Amino acid sequence: MFDKLMEDYKRNSIIRERRDCSFQEFKPSLSKSVIDVIDLELARLYGFNDEKTDFIINYDIKYRMSGVETEE
């Protein structure tokens, strides 16, 4: 699953160039569906109930991804 996440990060990334430098910019919020699959599997492995699992999924939306996404 790690490889799938890294591939998705790369697919959703863009290359930016500034002056004499170029860098790869990642937008993890675009990989939310893959991150959710990982979170669900971890929740199952740790025996989390539905309430705890829901908290983890929604925490990600509320605190990590809100207002971050901008399309260019």
12-24 pLDDT per residue, tens: 999 999 999 999 9
What is the reported pLDDT for 6?
96
Q: How far apart are CA 62 and CA 50, in angstroms?
A: 18
pTM: 0.71
List the domain boundaries for the chain: 2-64
What is the reported pLDDT for 22?
95
Q: Is the dihedral of CA 14, 27, 70, 19 positive or negative?
A: negative
Q: Which residues of the chain have pLDDT under 70?
A: 60, 62-72
What is the reported pLDDT for 70?
44
Q: Is the distance from CB of 35 to CB of 28 less than 8 angstroms?
A: yes
Residue 8: count other Cβ atoms within 10 Å of its Cβ: 17
Distinct helix (H) and strand (E) counts, the chain: 3, 2
Q: Which residues pair with 21 in a beta bridge?
A: 18
What is the reported pLDDT for 56?
87
What is the reported pLDDT for 57?
86
